[in-house]
Amino acid sequence: MRSMSSTDTDITVHRPDQLSDPLRTAWHRAMDESPEYANPFLSPEFAVGVGAHRGGVEIGVLHEHGEPVGFLPYERNILGVGRAIGLGLSDRQALVHRPGIIWDTEELLRGCGLASFEFDHLVEEQKPFGRYVTGMFASPVIDLEPGDGDYARWLRATYPGQAKTTLKKERRLGRDIGEVRFVFDERDPKVLRRLMEWKSAQYRRTGRMDRFARPWIVDLVDHLFRLREEHFTGVLSVLYAGDRPVAAHFGPRSRTVLAAWFTAYDPEFHYYSPGLMMHLRTAEAAARHGVRLIDLGRGDKEYKDWLKTRELRVGEGFATRPHPVAAAHRMWRRPVRGLRNTVLAHPGLREPADRLLKTVGALRSSRRTAPRTH
């Protein structure tokens, strides 16, 4: 543990395995007192999970009059360049703090030993980071109200535009393959492995980076799947036709928020729109299990437009303090992020980019399956 004090701030720095029970309790209290911090990606369990499978994870703790009141998890390299924990995986980032806490960004970075701090899903309410934000983006969510357990009635009332077609496809799936059933909290690890296989194939097919080709991400998902705690649970939801898994989703949940994270389906059944079925079934069941909000994550997708009830805003940028390493890192990373955002923000560029990625994915796939010649 490191510490740094000033007249205004007392900051201690901890490794994830040094996070004591009192610190976890104080962290959970900060989450409970501020709805904007209720997301499971902002929990100590997610930070500890990433830290168990990835090096360089630290947690800066702000103290006021000796009491822990704020928590910033991050990944740090030997040069002092920091990034939000799980950058690229996490759909919500923040200094999680109790209401009314005032803090200074440069002092925070100095106390954590960071020259810079990169983020891409920063909670909008993080005002001290405001001048470092280079872009704000929509992050769609679904507000939930529990129904009476009748899925068809809930669907017709909540998504009338999707209900008729979706229910018709479910009936057809049941006739063609087997009775359709849904398990909100499946505990069979073999089905989780099947989801990873589907998702890996989807990444390759569309030319995206295969996250599950990285062992630490596989290990992290396995770790979170096993967590069954009051403030954090890894939830695997599965749509079956007969005994056959057709689609699945895995994501973390806090007491009130479920994060939509990894969704995939068996491409053999694409005709039935199993991905949309999966999202709708998950929303209805999550509401019955106490979830009040599903975070769909930043990004423009047609299904998100269909499902969302409103949008939150998340920020992207680089918080820095005067330091030569910070300037060099910002000069290197900002153009890369700017190019990516330009493509994503313009359909005229995004659609050709998607087609190119899919073409690359198809070529890679054909190379893997082509017989060797000698």
Please report the pLDDT score of residue 257 as a whole number.
98
CA distance between the termini of the chain: 59
Task: Assess contact for 260 and 251: CB atoms under 8 A.
Answer: yes
Q: Which amino acid is at 63?
A: H
Residue 44 φ then ψ, to 5°? -65, -30
**Cα 49 from Cα 54, distance rounded (Å):** 9
The tens digit of pLDDT for each residue in 151-204 reads 999 999 999 999 999 999 999 999 999 999 999 999 999 999 999 999 999 999
Q: Give CA separation, 69 vs 2, 52, 63, in Å.
A: 17, 24, 6
Nearest Cα neighbor of 330 from 68, 145, 126, 116 is 116
Please report the pLDDT score of residue 371 as a whole number.
38
Q: What's the pTM value of the predicted model, to 2 decimals?
A: 0.86
Q: How many Å is the Cα radius of gyration of the chain?
A: 22
Q: Give CA separation, 36 vs 40, 96, 125, 312, in Å.
A: 11, 9, 8, 10
Please report the pLDDT score of residue 300 as a whole number.
85
Task: Assess contact for 235 and 225: CB atoms under 8 A.
Answer: no
Domains annotated on the chain, with CATH: 9-138+313-344+351-359 (3.40.630), 145-291 (3.40.630.30)
Nearest Cα neighbor of 43 from 61, 21, 28 is 28
Q: Give CA separation, 131 vs 227, 319, 328, in Å.
A: 37, 8, 19
Task: Assess contact for 291 and 131: CB atoms under 8 A.
Answer: no
Helix (H, G, I), strand (E, B) or coil at 339: helix
Burial (CB < 10 A; 0-12, 13-18, 19+), residue 114, is buried
Angle, CA of 144, 29 and 184, to the nearest 5°: 35
Q: Where are the beta strands (DSSP E) in the chain?
A: 2-5, 10-14, 57-64, 67-76, 81-84, 96-97, 116-123, 133-143, 180-183, 233-241, 244-253, 257-259, 262-265, 293-295, 310-320
Q: Which residues of the chain have pLDDT under 70?
A: 1-9, 323-374
Nearest Cα neighbor of 188 from 139, 140, 243 is 243
Task: Assess contact for 84 and 117: CB atoms under 8 A.
Answer: yes
Categorise residue 141: left if φ over 0, alpha if ψ from -120 to 50, beta otherwise. beta
Please report the pLDDT score of residue 306 as a whole number.
94
